[in-house]
């Protein structure tokens, strides 16, 4: 059993090595508080900030999103990334909170080293598009769902293949060492449902100013997933069926 596990780990390391090497190399230039990524962080941060307890941040990068949502009075954040250099920058960025409310773990999203039902919330932002295959995304969603407690919330952000510009970027720049994948909203919802989660909210991400409601935001609010460059889904893990039955009064006729 142990030998097989070690073989699997070596195979995974070989498979993802080109991507890991790329992110180690780009870490010092990655995830600055500017541009489209920053706008999306600002827009999504309140959804995470309202959660409580243990939060798993998968693909934390350099910690720029953690900065936006972390409330040390309410949160303990476990930050996961596969890049040593990314984690080192997160440690530097969060140095005053590191070891108190922020903890770093080197791991793959497709193979999270945590027990079932560990976290109250799970966040995966600006990460899924860098996975080489849909099977990796599906495995990552399943693992995140596994370690999420019943009733816990999951926030996923991803590139939308139905947006023509994003589709062109994927076609031109999707490489083995730096994948640029995009997905259908329906497929991501299906993956969440298969992992026992129900989608509560869909958020269109256009890169507009999140502090000012724009005409585009209003006009497209009912068409999430149709043309938005990026989409975020807020989902919740269902309670086990036997727990739901416990809440039913058997004496009721």
Residue 218, pLDDT above cutoff 80: no
Mean pLDDT for the stretch of residues 42-57: 96
Q: Domain containing 154 — which CATH number?
A: 3.40.50.150
Domain contains 252: no
CA atoms of 208 and 89, how far apart (whole Å): 28
Domain contains 253: no
Q: Are the C-beta atoms of 122 and 58 separated by less than 8 Å?
A: yes
Domain contains 11: yes
Domain span at residue 84 reads 2-246
**What pLDDT shows up at residue 238?**
92
Domains: count for the chain:
1
Residue for token pair 């449902």: 193
Mean pLDDT for the stretch of residues 214-243: 72
- Find the Cα–Cα–Cα–Cα dihedral 66, 72, 76, 82, rounded to 10°: 30
Mean pLDDT for the stretch of residues 211-237: 70
Mean pLDDT for the stretch of residues 123-138: 96
Domain contains 227: yes
CA atoms of 4 and 10, how far apart (whole Å): 10
Mean pLDDT for the stretch of residues 207-234: 65
pLDDT band with cut points at 50, 70 and 90 for residue 7: low
Model pTM score: 0.86
CA atoms of 191 and 194, how far apart (whole Å): 5
Rounded to the nearest integer, the mean pLDDT of the chain is 86
Domain contains 61: yes
Domain contains 251: no
% of the chain at pLDDT higher than 90:
67
pLDDT band with cut points at 50, 70 and 90 for residue 239: confident
Mean pLDDT for the stretch of residues 5-9: 59
Mean pLDDT for the stretch of residues 8-31: 82
Domain contains 136: yes
**What pLDDT shows up at residue 253?**
47
């Amino acid at each position: 059993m142990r030998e097989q596990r070690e073989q699997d780990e070596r195979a995974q390391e070989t498979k993802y090595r080109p991507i890991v090497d790329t992110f180690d190399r780009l870490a010092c230039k990655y995830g600055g508080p500017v541009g489209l990524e920053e706008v999306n962080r600002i827009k999504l941060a309140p959804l995470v900030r309202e959660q409580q307890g243990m939060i798993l941040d998968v693909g934390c990068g350099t910690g720029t999103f953690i900065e936006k949502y972390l409330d040390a009075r309410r949160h303990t954040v476990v930050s996961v990334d596969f890049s040593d250099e990314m984690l080192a920058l997160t440690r530097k960025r969060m140095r005053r909170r590191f070891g108190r409310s922020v903890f770093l773990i080197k791991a793959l999203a497709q193979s999270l080293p945590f027990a079932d039902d560990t976290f109250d919330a799970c966040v995966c932002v600006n990460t899924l598009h860098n996975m080489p295959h849909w099977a990796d995304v599906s495995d990552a969603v399943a693992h995140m769902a596994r370690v999420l407690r019943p009733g816990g919330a999951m926030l996923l952000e991803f590139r939308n293949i139905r947006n023509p510009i994003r589709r062109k970027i994927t076609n031109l720049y999707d490489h083995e060492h730096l994948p640029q994948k995009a997905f259908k909203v329906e497929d991501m919802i299906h993956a969440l449902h298969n992992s026992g989660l129900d989608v509560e909210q869909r958020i269109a991400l256009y890169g507009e100013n999140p502090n000012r409601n724009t005409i585009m935001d209003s006009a497209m609010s009912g068409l999430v997933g149709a043309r938005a460059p990026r989409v975020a889904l807020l989902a919740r893990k269902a309670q086990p069926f036997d727990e739901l039955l416990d809440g039913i009064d058997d004496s009721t006729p």
